Copies of this chain bind each other. A is one copy, B any other.
């Protein structure tokens, strides 16, 4: 290896090493602060803080050295390139068969500090660390609370995110018009699509920050489920929405609204969402059948490896199919926790959770560290005071327009209402983070997009540091601390009781889940031979024969373990105490998935 190459490899190793040191310092200092009951900063905030310092050091100390060493290479100017092509091929004439291939990937790389471009392509970082984080979030979601509040969560996540992004988009568009009036921006510099894109980017509240926030504070467990469930699901909506708007933008309609392009984008939105959901579910089905039909549970190592590989595959497959990997891995995590987890051995299940926990923890630190790092190393920040003020204003207004009206609507159908204080805290706890940043950093080709990136970074820093630190006192002020729950709080768990909304779709989902999916994918529920029509007997037998045989080995009581998937770094005692409910109650509650009428079901039966 030549000296230059060696030197560059060393500097890459040195760079990764400093990232590792950053992670170590973050872990130790945040943990030390927590020991002193100083809860103002969590891992995410700490990592971002140290990331800023690393970025400063790299910008002012390192880059000079790098620039010096770069001059050792041969420079070869390629004239005659008037456009900025995405792929450039360089033909090195002295070496017959050898050509080099360079990719530009939307100009982004060119503006990041060049020496570490290859190592620090944010896409690689996100492809590596976001899937385990999202998967872990979905996998360890307290299923019981989640199911109990599903109707509300889905409303906030889907309807709320769309309201948010429209609200931010129009408000910010208003501010850009003001900028044009005040001659701070050229007309057409910020199109409505740009503003809507910004709205979609900023509408995703971040599960990583929210989880970091909630886990340290003893929050009411319904609030926990609502906030965390919303933040996990709204990522899906925001990601797909962003892609839909970007694809609408690419159709080059100018600033004229075009109905076909709009409907194509809506179609794209729905298609990607459903496609990703199905793909995630397909990987759950494969994993569940593999773990059910083979005796893999004899080797926890194999179980864990296969579980990990298949869950990661859901992400890769979705990306390969042009769908959203994050959305697929999200739904995969939700369904893996519901079905496959029942097939794993106790050790396999623990191992899997612990593996993802470590990946999640390290991934969170690296991603937030990187967000801090990019502050000073990204050379083309575009600070537009009016745009930034508009954005700051709009995220509060949009959050309020999302939470208050929707809570009012949702409360019409809930027995345990979402209280005012609850709503205030929800408005406040809309932290932004990794997903917003990953969406913003994808494309920084125009001035508008660079403004979006800079503003996104500012908003993330503000929400993580300022709102994050203020959450603890606010929670005390609003009196939303967790209280020790008594047992037998079934009514509490399923908060969305509406005795009038007993419709067919509810029983349809219940039947599908209880009579077909569960017996097919796990060892629980009634035998498949009972549920399926007679002519499917042979098919049912394949899955059932094994099931009967296994039933003695793996007793029915393994099921409640599912609901103990409660590694969310929090130690909410309530969620554990309610795990002692009887099997029958569990099953009834699960029938609730879809409309939140489970408890009504209990009452009526």
In the complex, identify which listed stretch (A83-91, A226-234, A446-454) lies at the interface while the others stay far away: A83-91
Nearest B residue to A360 via CB reads B301
Q: Is the CB of B94 within 8 A of A114?
A: no
Q: Is the CB of A306 within 8 A of B24?
A: yes
Cβ contact of A84, chosen from B92, B102, B111, cutoff 8 A: B92
Q: Is the CB of B100 within 8 A of A92?
A: no
Cβ contact of A73, chosen from B101, B308, B443, cutoff 8 A: B101
Chain B residues within an 8 Å CB radius of A73: 85-89, 101
Bound Cα distance A443, B6 (Å): 13
Cβ contact of A306, chosen from B27, B77, B90, B114, cutoff 8 A: B27
Q: What is the interface size of chain A, counting residues whose CB is below 8 A from a CB of the partner?
A: 96
Chain B residues within an 8 Å CB radius of A302: 27, 31
> Which residues A207-243 have CB closer than 8 A to chain B?
none
Bound Cα distance A91, B312 (Å): 38
In the complex, identify which listed stretch (A11-19, A145-153, A195-203, A525-533) lies at the interface while the others stay far away: A11-19
Residue A466 at the chain B interface, CB threshold 8 Å: no
C-beta contact mask, A313-328 vs B, less than 8 Å → 1, else 0? Answer: 1001101111000000
Copies in the complex: 2
Q: Of residues A105, A106, A442, which shows the largest number of chain B Cβ atoms within 10 Å of its Cβ?
A: A105
Bound Cα distance A28, B291 (Å): 11
C-beta contact mask, A51-65 vs B, less than 8 Å → 1, else 0? Answer: 000000000000000
Q: Is the CB of A1 within 8 A of B442?
A: yes
Q: Is the CB of A320 within 8 A of B14?
A: yes
Q: Is the CB of B89 within 8 A of A100?
A: no
> Which residues A586-603 have CB closer than 8 A to chain B?
none
**Known A10-B322, A309-B362; further 18 A-B contacts with Cβ < 8 A:** A5-B86, A5-B104, A24-B306, A27-B309, A73-B87, A74-B89, A75-B91, A76-B78, A76-B89, A77-B91, A77-B93, A78-B92, A79-B93, A84-B92, A90-B90, A95-B110, A305-B361, A354-B355
Q: Which 4 A-B pairs have the closest CB atoms?
A: A73-B87, A13-B320, A13-B319, A77-B91
- 16 of the cross-chain contacts (CB-CB < 8 Å) are A6-B322, A8-B87, A9-B319, A10-B322, A14-B320, A23-B305, A28-B306, A35-B295, A70-B89, A73-B86, A74-B85, A78-B78, A78-B90, A80-B93, A301-B358, A305-B362
